[in-house]
Structure 1
Amino acid sequence: MELASLAESATERGKLRTALAGLAVAGISISAYLAWVHFAGIDPLCVAGSDGCDTVQSSQYASVLSVPVSVLGLAGYTGLLFASVLKGEAGAYLVLLLALSGTLFSTYLTYLEIFVIEAICQWCVASAAVITAALVCATLRVVGLPTHR
């Protein structure tokens, strides 16, 4: 690979790390808001007066082993933020692992919202979109790694 191509690849990987960090901050913001709502015991703000967020937040699925899902999200997005700034293969694969795990968990939670709880939380959908976008960026980052010969 020639030098110009390597520099371009490094620039693209830097942009992906920046995008991943931004997505992690967005996810932290969503999760922190939902955790605050949980611990404050108030109803989350929802667009158009929907009560889906409150229904989801007060369901039996809102906690895992007594830990609110929003707190798990906060931990996951914080880990993603720290991992996103790591350079090299280890950082790229760690981000991919975290984003894939988060996306799979989010997919499960979305399934529960639609088919079990029968309510949609707009904040949860936003978080699902953020973690899915992070998975796309993480995949592009890994695919863009230079190959070793």
Structure 2
Amino acid sequence: MKPNLRISFFIIGLLISLYLLVSYSVYKGILICPNDGCDEVAMSPYSKIIGIPVPLIGVFGYLALINLSIFKIERFLTMTLILAFLFSSYLMIISIFIIKTLCFWCLLSFLIILITLLLQVKDKIKRINKKGFIDEQIS
């Protein structure tokens, strides 16, 4: 995956997280949502983890991913993407099976993480040479 495309995906994710954080913190509800699930998810007890709003965690996560992409720290980028995928999956499971609704913006953020992780893994596989070693020289 080209770094600029990956960074563009992460910037979209960052903007989604910022939008959700501002909507939740300032307006006490999601301003624009294509379905009714956003407010329900945002007002649920699962919208905070140890008192920290989930969108704030998303902001810091996407900032980390952007910086890792800019500075081409591939190993940490892959690990961070895996952690982001696990965290996003956890949140989607809670949304679907416990809260029993789906937030459009949360789903979009999950898809951004999923797509970039899959493309990152695909790129890693391409870099493996016949001996099974990763060739770090290939971009």
Superposition TM-score, scaled by structure 2 size:
0.86
Instruction: Look up the match of 1:80.
Output: 65
Give yes or no for the alignment of 1:68 onto 2:45: no
* Bigger relative contact order (CA 8 A; separation at least 6): 1
Segments of 5+ residues of structure 2 without an aligned counterpart are 128-133
- Deviation of 1:18 (Å): 1.5
- Deviation of 1:86 (Å): 2.3
Alpha-carbon deviations, 1:100-137, whole Å to 9, x = none?
11111111100001100011100000000111112122
Alpha-carbon deviations, 1:46-78, whole Å to 9, x = none?
11xx32100000001001110000000000000
Counterpart residue type for residue 32 of structure 1? L
Which runs of structure 2 are paired with 1:113-124 in the superposition (5 Å)? 113-124=95-106
Instruction: Look up the match of 1:53.
Output: 38
Among 84, 105, 110, the residue aligned to 1:128 = 110
The number of residue pairs the alignment matches comes to 129
Q: Following superposition, which runs of at least 4 residues in structure 1 exceed 6 angstroms of deviation?
A: none
Superposition TM-score, scaled by structure 1 size:
0.80
Tell me how far apart the structure 2 counterparts of residues 141 and 74 of structure 1 sit (CA, whole Å): 25
Tell me how far apart the structure 1 counterparts of residues 103 and 44 of structure 2 sit (CA, whole Å): 11
Among 10, 21, 37, the residue aligned to 1:35 = 21
Tell me how far apart the structure 1 counterparts of residues 124 and 16 of structure 2 sit (CA, whole Å): 26
Segments of 5+ residues of structure 1 without an aligned counterpart are 1-14
Tell me how far apart the structure 1 counterparts of residues 29 and 114 of structure 2 sit (CA, whole Å): 26
- Amino-acid identity (%): 27
Instruction: Look up the match of 1:147.
Output: 135
